[in-house]
Structure 1
């Protein structure tokens, strides 16, 4: 019996444009693909190993013609709209109190700050959850299994009683290895 629902954030609640953001960044940086040091810096930033200032300084030194605001704008390009019916959905689940509700997201500081500034009902959304885990705050990221183990241990959960909802197959496959029930939402 499912007792806990664990939700991803991007492309489950808030819409993302992953390909558009990638294309936009590659065009801005005049590259065909992200370089290894950029990928490592992005991952380090996503788990809070480096600060926003260090992250922006890295990109400004690598691309000296670009300003911090241009880099920030390119970084946040991925974030699109948050349909209100999705807020209604999670509010209804919270009111029913049938499930423990957890958000588990690979989200960094710049993205969450952008969302807080641009989604008028962000606090209402966040308050629907019993726990709200962002990768940069807990220093873990999906699909690494340690992030799922962290959530299970922190909340004293039985994996078989959890359902994890995510749009990325790699993330749901990793959760399955720990006997967490999964639902991979196809974003198309």
Structure 2
């Protein structure tokens, strides 16, 4: 019996264009993603380096980039938040039938853009639906590393067998499944989180 639901954020609630940042960087002359760029991104997503250090890394590597252009390209991935998903989430939270958690790989620039774009009221309305709101850069873990799931389970005394994790990336749901957490690897554009309670796990 499912008692706990852990949700990803991007492409579960807020829509993403995962190619947009690459396209915008390419317009700025950055066409190859090197290993050190990936490693720096992971560090930033885990909160191991600051936004200034992250932006500074790119400006050193690509002197033609302005901070503004880089930040705009970085945030280009972020799209709209369909209101029917907020309605579903609020109704789910109000029902009191499940403990709700957010677990997102995100970084300071992205969450700052969301807070500014949505405004304080909408962001607060969304965040308040969750018992815990875990962002990778704040807890220094990232998916699909096993320790991030173990952290959420242990911090909240959750049983894996009573928990379902919803994420759009198979590598993330596979890692959770290996810990005996129920999973839904949601396919963006084909499936919508609002149909969650129709799944066999419930």
Do they fold alike, i.e. is TM over 0.5? Answer: yes
Moved over 4 A (4+): none
Residue 54 of structure 1 corresponds to 53
Residue 112 of structure 2 corresponds to 113
| TM superposition shift of 1:28 | 2.1
Q: Are the aligned partners of 1:10 and 1:16 in contact in 2 as well (CA < 8 Å)?
A: yes
Residue 9 of structure 1 corresponds to 9
| TM superposition shift of 1:25 | 2.0
Higher mean C-alpha deviation, range 16-25 or range 96-105 = 16-25
**1:149-178: CA deviation from partner (whole Å, max 9, x where unpaired):** 000000011000000000111100110000
Alpha-carbon separation, structure 1, partners of 2:41 and 2:186: 25
Question: What is the root-mean-square deviation in Å for CA atoms of aligned residues?
Answer: 0.9
Residue 97 of structure 2 corresponds to 98
Consecutive unaligned residues in structure 2, runs of 5 or more: 190-202
Consecutive unaligned residues in structure 1, runs of 5 or more: none
Residue 62 of structure 2 corresponds to 63
Alpha-carbon separation, structure 2, partners of 1:142 and 1:98: 26
Residue 163 of structure 1 corresponds to 164
TM-score by length of 1: 0.97
Q: Secondary structure at the match of 2:12?
A: coil
Residue 80 of structure 1 corresponds to 79
Alpha-carbon separation, structure 1, partners of 2:176 and 2:124: 28
TM-score by length of 2: 0.90
CA gap of 1:29–1:37, structure 2 versus 1, over 3 A, is farther
| TM superposition shift of 1:19 | 1.6
| TM superposition shift of 1:23 | 2.3
| TM superposition shift of 1:22 | 2.0
Q: Secondary structure at the match of 2:28?
A: helix
Higher mean C-alpha deviation, range 19-28 or range 144-153 = 19-28
CA gap of 1:8–1:179, structure 2 versus 1, over 3 A, is same
Residue 155 of structure 2 corresponds to 154
Residue 44 of structure 1 corresponds to 43
Alpha-carbon separation, structure 2, partners of 1:27 and 1:115: 24
Q: Secondary structure at the match of 1:29?
A: coil
Alpha-carbon separation, structure 2, partners of 1:133 and 1:161: 19
Residue 197 of structure 2 corresponds to none
Q: Secondary structure at the match of 2:36?
A: helix
